Structure 1
Amino acid sequence: MGPVHLAGETEHGEQRVITPLTDDYGWNRQMIGGADSILDSPCRRVRLAHVPSGSFYAAAWIINAAPGPMHQPVWQGAFDFGTPPELVAALTDRLAADLADGGLLALHGNRHPHQAIGRLERAGWNRSRDPDGTGRVLTLDELWDSDLLYSSPDELLSVRRRSHIGSWEDELTRGPEAWEITAGPAAGQDSAGRLWRATFTSATPTHLVRELTAALTNPMPVFRDQADLNHRPEVEPFLVTTANFTRTASDRAKAARATRLSGPVTPAVGAAHQHPPTGHQPKQTR
């Protein structure tokens, strides 16, 4: 189904995130009760918590990146409950690859916002705020020092970048964070009606946020099976047959990682309010 920001979670979608980390990059996974788990990178500089129970946590996925084990985090990120797993994996796949390549980019990458928001501009997103209200292209200096809010064409997704935030300690502990991605009818606003939210502190390497904006602007549908759709009454699915449906979750994860896409490269169901094509039916042959 598509677009990805409305696809929601899947019954076992966490494996799209976890399996590549453990099987391909050697991350260590520890179960901490029930379905909750902690994943540590081999270098012990990044910890990913998956806490689907939701009892004591405000987010389903929490990321801490630090110079070494037991050090104060350099940056933090979080994905709310309801975030499509393809979006979480878009960031964690790149993060794991960076760590496997030495880890400097994962901790101290470029922090300039244009590396991430450039994709939004090229995809025709609306910039709601600019220095003089004209919608003109901002200079690099203005981008660095401006609060920015971009809205998707369907107005159901927003990406906010705050330049004027509190101290580093406040941002890590109390927020607000420099980056905020919100999906739902009240995108960009504090509302109970939102579908999900992701946040990242200002020191998050911008190329990791770019992986998210690339996934969010990717028009390819993502896979959802009937069990997932049974909990989504607003979605009107139709089947598209393809031999690629037989691929395993691991196969799909490797394909996505190889092409830097946010999910499977072939669709399974249509988007909300999309119906099967009519009028030109394939001829039946014996």
Structure 2
Amino acid sequence: MKVLPRHLAGPGPASPRTAWPFPFDKDWSIHQAEEGTASATSPCLRLWTSFDPQPDKPRKGTWTIGANRVPFGQAAWQITFDASTPVELLHDVHAELLDLYLEDRHSDRDRLYEDATAPHEAYAPLFARGWSHDVKTDGTQIFLAPDGLGGVRHRYTTTGSDGPTWTAWGGYPSEPYWQARFSFGTPTTLVAAFTASLSSTEPVHRTARDVPFHTRNRLYIAAATVEKPPGSSPIVPPPAGPGPGRTR
């Protein structure tokens, strides 16, 4: 079936080949161990991403994206996702990462480390989909999904690298099903790609067992892939709205 909203859809088919759109047949490298851990690196060895599955843990493991100014050096910035994060969000952030890498490679720009994209570019997709906005006196602002079961927090006054600048989650705030964290220095362009995917009204494919049990009653079923049995509940249409678009 196809379901909405994305932040409650569950991880889906979360495999490295699904999440990583990199050209492995050309110049990107991929390494995968028998136990399921995997990593990918750019040709310049400054970008890397990894998957550490832990199926016995509540959030199933961790996806990590990192950027080093020099190969194998200290990370300039880092993004982490719980493995329970919807795979569409992972894919769209990695696709934007690849775009930034290719732009930097063929120009004199260095947006992977000196991105001038304004924070409002990341806010815009949320505002367009009716997410609420609350500015706090502690230097943070919070955006909440219309159902209250998804959120994005931005530390807009941060001047150091302590703690994430952006945080996102899906599920009940007290016990989220997944979380994502964007460290200080992460290109805002990547955050904007994430928020555009997070708030997209394009349905995602899931089976019933993919969907978190405690929030499945909050999902809209957009289309069924099999014929409904007699007496089943009617299909609920998704909220109206245009399909997702690129942030740039």
- TM-score calculated relative to the size of structure 2: 0.77
Larger fraction in strand: 2
Q: Gaps (5+ residues) in structure 2? A: 238-248
SS in 2 for 1:47: strand
Counterpart of 2:169? 182
- Find out whether 1:68 has 2:70 as its counterpart: yes
CA deviation after TM superposition for structure 1 residue 232, in Å: 4.6
1:211 aligns with 2:193: yes
Kindly state the Cα deviation for residue 238 of structure 1 after the two structures are TM-superposed: 8.0
CA 1:58–1:44 in 2, change beyond 3 Å: closer, same or farther? Answer: farther
Report the CA distance between 1:109 and its aligned residue: 1.2
Q: Which has the higher contact order (CA 8 A, sep 6+)?
A: 2
Aligned partner of 1:150: which letter? Answer: F
Quote the residue 1:84 is aligned against.
86
1:240 to 207, 224, 228: 224
Deviations 1:222-253 (A, max 9, x none): 01246635x758647685359xxxxxxxxxxx
Say whether the 8 Å CA contact 1:238–1:275 is kept in structure 2.
no
2:4 matched residue in structure 1: 2
CA contact (8 A) 2:16 2:38 kept: no
Match of 2:132 among 122, 126, 151: 126
CA–CA separation in structure 1 for the residues paired with 2:125 and 2:39: 32
Contact 1:59/1:78, CA 8 A, preserved across alignment? no
Q: Return the alpha-carbon distance in structure 2 between the equivalents of residues 24 and 214 of structure 1.
A: 28
**CA apart distance, 1:185:** 1.3
Give 1:125 shift: 1.4
Alignment match, 2:119:
113
**Superimposed CA distance per residue, residues 97-147 of structure 1 (whole angstroms, 9 cap, x where no aligned partner):** 22123252222212532121122223221112257xxxxxxxxxxxxx942
Distance 1:225 1:29, change over 3 A: same
Identify the residue that residue 167 of structure 1 maps to in structure 2: 160
Shift of 1:33: 4.9
C-alpha distance after superposition, 1:137-163 (max 9, x if no partner): xxxxxxxx9421111111111111113
**Deviation sequence 1:149-198 (CA, Å, 0-9, x none):** 11111111111111344733xx2xxxx21100011111xxxx3x211100
Identity score, percent: 27
| Distance of 1:82 and 1:146 partners within structure 2 | 29
> Which residue of structure 1 aligns with residue 49 of structure 2?
48
Alpha-carbon deviation of 1:22? 4.2
Q: Determine which structure has more spread, i.e. the larger CA radius of gyration.
A: 1
C-alpha distance 107-33 of structure 1, shift in aligned 2 (>3 A) = farther
Cross-structure match for 2:205: 223
Contact 1:183/1:197, CA 8 A, preserved across alignment: yes
- For residues 14 and 114 of structure 1, the distance between their equivalents in structure 2, rounded to whole angstroms, comes to 30
Give the CA RMSD over aligned residues: 3.2
Which one has a larger percent helix, Structure 1 or Structure 2? 1
| Structure 2 CA distance for partners of 1:221 and 1:55, relative to 1, 3 Å | closer
Provide the residue aligned with 2:145 in structure 1: 152
- Residues 25 and 240 of structure 1: CA distance in aligned 2, closer, same or farther (over 3 Å): farther
Give the Cα–Cα distance (whole angstroms) in 2 for the partners of residues 110 and 238 of structure 1. Answer: 38
TM-score w.r.t. length of structure 1: 0.67
With over 3 angstroms needed to count, the CA separation of the structure-2 counterparts of 1:75 and 1:146, relative to structure 1, is: same
**Partner SS, residue 148 of structure 1:** strand
Inter-partner Cα distance in structure 2 for 1:166 and 1:59: 30
Deviations 1:38-64 (A, max 9, x none): 110122111101111268999511111
Distance change in 2, residues 1:118/1:239 (3 Å): closer
Matching residue of 1:194 = 176
